[in-house]
């Protein structure tokens, strides 16, 4: 075997070790803020009370016990599950941080060190999510135990749980690389604050976090389900509720994988092309 053939695996191994160390260091840093994570988790439960009361009033005032294929208990269970989806897919501050690094010139720290910016950010965010999931696991377990009555159709089987876990992992990558792509717009525009606000506000709605996409008119529901944003909130939730099964479930997971790879390649392309016109000042 030639030296070149031996060098490639060794280089890949060193690269994996490098980003694994970044992950571990970031995890230790994030765990230092476990009290903030815990408090933030508990405070997020308060709006749920209002949301539950609101939907109870909506169903009570309606003529039908089922709205868009969702009974009241299924609706509240869905809204609880979307909070789990958003734990994995939401990336607060990621796009804005990338745009700020580009604007202020601090992006050059990734160019003068043997660290890829996207590789560093994905390691850091994985550590952040790990810390948050570990710390918030008990509060969310208590919440779902208290609200167990809303899951009156029973818990899904093992295969569905596996599919749900896969959908959450893929939701992380879809959400991460999508926000990276949005942040890369900073290479071409000096100020992107307004754009980020519009994109994130729309994302919150069209991802199905506010309400199931099935509540929209048929055309818009079908259109939004063809986009990647449903995988950030809607799709994992309906997997648990058993509204996506069999072939549709397999197609949905493949679609989620496709969008994760698509945004990953798009982010890399935008980063490469952006660096060609990048000039670092300050920082």
Q: What pLDDT tens digit does each residue of the chain (283 aa) get?
A: 444 444 556 666 677 787 788 888 887 777 776 677 667 777 777 778 788 888 888 888 766 678 878 888 899 999 999 989 988 998 988 988 998 888 888 888 888 878 888 989 999 899 888 888 888 888 888 888 888 888 887 778 889 999 999 999 999 999 999 999 999 998 888 778 888 888 888 988 999 988 899 999 999 999 999 999 999 999 999 999 989 988 999 999 999 999 999 999 999 999 999 888 876 554 4
Beta bridge partners of 67: 70
Task: Please tell me the distance from the alpha carbon of residue 240 to that of residue 229, in angstroms, as a whole number.
Answer: 18
Beta bridge partners of 71: 66
The verdict on residue 6 lying in a domain is: no
The verdict on residue 170 lying in a domain is: yes
Range of the domain at 225: 14-276
Task: Please tell me the distance from the alpha carbon of residue 40 to that of residue 59, in angstroms, as a whole number.
Answer: 30
The verdict on residue 76 lying in a domain is: yes
User: CA of 70: how far to CAs of 80, 114, 229, in Å?
Assistant: 14, 51, 21
The verdict on residue 8 lying in a domain is: no
Task: Please tell me the distance from the alpha carbon of residue 39 to that of residue 43, in angstroms, as a whole number.
Answer: 6
Look up the pTM and report it.
0.88
Q: What are phi and psi of 66, to 5 degrees?
A: -125, 130
Q: What's the pLDDT at 189? A: 83
Domains in the chain: how many in total?
A: 1
The verdict on residue 130 lying in a domain is: yes
Q: What's the pLDDT at 201? A: 87
The helix/strand count (H/E) of the chain reads as 11, 2
Q: What's the pLDDT at 8? A: 52
The verdict on residue 163 lying in a domain is: yes
What is the chain's Cα-based Rg?
21
The verdict on residue 227 lying in a domain is: yes
Structure tokens at 28: 């230790």
- Helix ranges (DSSP H) in 147-245: 158-183, 193-206, 218-225, 234-240
Task: Please tell me the distance from the alpha carbon of residue 192 to that of residue 179, in angstroms, as a whole number.
Answer: 13
The verdict on residue 28 lying in a domain is: yes
């Amino acid at each position: 075997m030639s030296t070149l053939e031996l060098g490639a695996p060794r280089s890949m191994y060193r690269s994996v070790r490098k980003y694994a160390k970044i992950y571990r260091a970031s995890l230790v840093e994030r765990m230092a803020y476990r009290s903030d994570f815990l408090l933030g988790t508990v405070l997020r439960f308060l709006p749920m009370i209002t949301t539950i009361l609101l939907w109870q009033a909506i169903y009570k005032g309606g003529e039908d016990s089922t709205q868009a294929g969702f009974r009241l208990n299924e609706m509240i269970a869905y809204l609880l599950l979307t909070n789990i989806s958003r734990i994995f897919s939401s990336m607060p501050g990621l796009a804005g941080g990338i745009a700020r690094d580009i604007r202020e010139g601090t992006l050059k720290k990734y160019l003068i060190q043997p660290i890829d910016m996207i590789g560093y950010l994905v390691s850091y965010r994985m550590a952040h999510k790990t810390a948050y999931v570990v710390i918030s696991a008990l509060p969310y377990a208590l919440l779902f135990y208290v609200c167990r009555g809303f899951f009156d159709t029973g818990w899904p089987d093992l295969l569905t749980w596996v599919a749900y876990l896969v959908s959450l992992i893929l939701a992380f990558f879809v959400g991460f690389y999508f926000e990276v792509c949005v942040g890369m717009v900073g290479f071409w525009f000096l100020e992107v604050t307004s754009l980020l606000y519009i994109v994130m506000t729309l994302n919150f709605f069209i991802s199905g976090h506010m309400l199931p996409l099935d509540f929209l008119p048929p055309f818009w529901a079908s259109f939004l389900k063809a986009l990647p944003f449903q995988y950030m909130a809607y799709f994992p939730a309906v997997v648990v509720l058993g509204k996506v099964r069999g072939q549709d479930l397999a197609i949905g997971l493949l679609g989620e994988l496709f969008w994760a790879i698509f945004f990953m390649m798009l982010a890399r392309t935008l980063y490469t092309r952006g660096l060609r016109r990048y000039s670092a000042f300050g920082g």
